[in-house]
Structure 1
Amino acid sequence: MFEHLKVLPQDPILQLMQSFRDDPRPDKVDLGVGVYRDATGNTPIMGAVHKAARRLLEHEKTKSYVGPAGSPGFNSAVTELLLGGDNPLSRDNRVSTIQTPGGCGALRMAAEFIKLCKPDAAVWVSTPTWANHMPLLGGAGLRIQSYPYLNSETLEVDFDDMMAALEMARKGDVVLLHGCCHNPSGADLTASQWAGITDLILRKELLPFVDMAYQGLGDGLEEDAQGLRHLAQAAPEMLVAASCSKNFGLYRERTGALMLISGNAKSQKAANSQLLSIIRAHYSMPPAHGAGLVETILQDDELRREWQAELSGMRDRIQQLRHAFSRELASSGDFDFIARQKGMFSFIGISEKQVNYLRAHHGIYLLESSRINIAGLSDKTLPRVAAAIREAVASA
Structure 2
Amino acid sequence: MFSALPDQPEDKILKLMQMFREDPREQKIDLGVGVYKDPDGKTPIMRAVKAAEKTLWETETTKSYVALAGAPEFNDAMVALVLGDAVPRAEAACVATPGGTGAVRQGFDLVKLGRADATVWYSSPTWGNHVSILKHMNVAHKPYRYFDAATGEVDFVGMIADLATALPGDVVLLHGCCHNPTGANLTHAQWRQVVELLNERDLIPMIDIAYQGFGDGLEEDAFGVRLVAAECPETLIAASCSKNFGVYRERTGALMAVSRGGADTVRAQKSLAYLNRQNFSFPPDHGARLVSMILTDEALKADWMAELEEVRTGMLALREQLAAELKRLTNSDRFDFIARHRGMFSMLGLSSEEMDVLRESHGIYGVSDSRINIAGLNSRTVPLLAKAVAEVVGG
TM-score class, shorter-chain normalisation, is over 0.9
Cα 1:88–1:347 change in 2 (3 A) is closer
The CA distance in 1 between the partners of 2:66 and 2:391, in whole Å, is 55
Distance 1:335 1:248 in 2: 30
Name the residue aligned to 2:259: 262
* Aligned residue type for 1:115: K
Cα distance per residue 1:89-118 (max 9 Å; x no partner): 32xx21121110000110001111100101
Give the whole-Å Cα distance in 1 for the aligned partners of 2:91 and 2:9: 44
Q: Secondary structure at the match of 1:132?
A: helix
Deviation at 1:6, TM superposition (A): 4.5
What amino acid is aligned across from residue 223 of structure 2 in structure 1?
Q
What is the CA–CA distance in structure 1 between the aligned matches of 2:254 and 2:242, rounded to whole Å? 11
Cα deviations across residues 221-250 of structure 1 (Å, max 9, x unaligned)? 000001111111101111000000000001
- 2:354 maps to 354
Tell me what 1:389 maps to. 389
Give the conservation status (yes or no) of the 8 Å contact 2:87–2:229: no
Q: 3-state SS of the aligned residue for 2:372? A: strand
1:43 aligns with 2:40: no
The letter for the 2-side match of 1:184 is P
Query: Who is 2:312 aligned against?
Result: 315
Which whole-Å CA distance do the structure 1 matches of 2:205 and 2:121 have between them? 10
Mapped partners of 1:325, 1:105: distance in 2: 34
Paired position in structure 1 for 2:378: 378
Q: 1:263-301: CA deviations, max 9, x gaps?
A: 331111012112211221110010110001101100000
User: Contact (CA 8 Å) 1:297, 1:303: kept in 2 or not?
Assistant: yes
Q: 2:182 aligns with which of 159, 175, 185?
A: 185
Give the number of aligned pairs: 392
Matches within 5 A, 1:49-88: 49-85=49-85, 87-88=86-87
Q: Quick check: 2:214–2:343 contact (8 Å CA) kept in 1? A: yes
SS of the residue 2:154 aligns to: coil
The answer on 1:158 being equivalent to 2:155 is: yes
Distance 1:172 1:161 in 2: 21
Counterpart of 1:67 in structure 2: which amino acid? A
**Cα separation, 1, equivalents of 2:122 and 2:36:** 25
| 1:239-318 equivalences in 2 (<5 Å) | 239-318=236-315
**Per-residue CA shift, 1:316-365, capped at 9, x if unaligned?**
00000000000110132321100000000000111212111111111110
- For 1:67 and 1:137, locate their aligned partners in 2 and report how far apart those are by CA, in whole Å: 28
- Distance in 2, Cα, partners of 1:144 & 1:7: 23
What amino acid sits opposite 2:154 in the alignment? V
Q: Is the 8 A contact 1:96 1:261 kept in 2?
A: yes
Partner Cα separation in structure 2 for residue 47 and residue 359 of structure 1: 35
Aligned: 1:227 with 2:220: no
8 Å Cα contact 2:36/2:344 also seen in 1: yes
**1:107–1:137 Cα contact (<8 Å) kept:** no
1:130 equivalent to 2:127? Answer: yes
Structure 2 residue aligned with 1:89: 88
Q: Which amino acid aligns with 2:150?
A: E
Please give the per-residue CA displacement for 1:187-220, whole angstroms capped at 9, x wherever unaligned: 0000000000000000111100000000000000
Kindly indicate whether the alpha-carbon contact (under 8 Å) linking 1:175 and 1:208 is maintained by their aligned counterparts in 2: yes
Which residues of 2 match residues 200-239 of structure 1 at below 5 A?
200-239=197-236
Provide the TM-score with structure 1 as the length reference. Answer: 0.97
1:142 positional shift = 1.2
Q: Which position in structure 2 is the counterpart of 1:341?
A: 341
1:150 alignment partner AA? F
Deviation at 1:83, TM superposition (A): 1.0
CA distance in 2, matches of 1:201, 1:278: 26
In the alignment, structure 1 residue 145 sits paired with structure 2 residue 153: no
CA contact (8 A) 2:319 2:338 kept: yes
Q: Which moved more, 1:258-267 or 1:158-167?
A: 258-267
Could you say what secondary structure the match of 1:3 adopts? helix
Is 1:174 aligned with 2:171? yes
Equivalent AA in structure 1 for residue 96 of structure 2: Q
Q: Distance in 2 between matches of 1:273 and 1:97?
A: 10
C-alpha separation between the residues in 2 aligned to 1:271 and 1:258?
Answer: 11
Structure 1 pair 88/228, CA: closer, same or farther in 2 (3 Å)? closer
Instruction: Identify the range of structure 1 (382-391 vs 183-192) with the bigger mean alpha-carbon deviation.
Output: 382-391
Q: 2:7 and 2:20 mapped to 1: Cα distance? A: 22
Letter in 2 for 1:390: A
Q: Is the Cα–Cα contact under 8 Å of residues 108 and 140 in structure 1 kept in the other structure?
A: no
Instruction: For 1:358 and 1:57, locate their aligned partners in 2 and report how far apart those are by CA, in whole Å.
Output: 46
Q: CA RMSD for the aligned pairs?
A: 1.0
**Structure 2 residue identity aligned to 1:136:** I
**Structure 2 letter corresponding to 1:194:** W
Aligned to 2:20: 20
Q: Partner letter of residue 356 of structure 2? A: N
How far is 1:27 from its partner?
A: 1.0
- Give the C-alpha shift of residue 9 in structure 1: 2.6
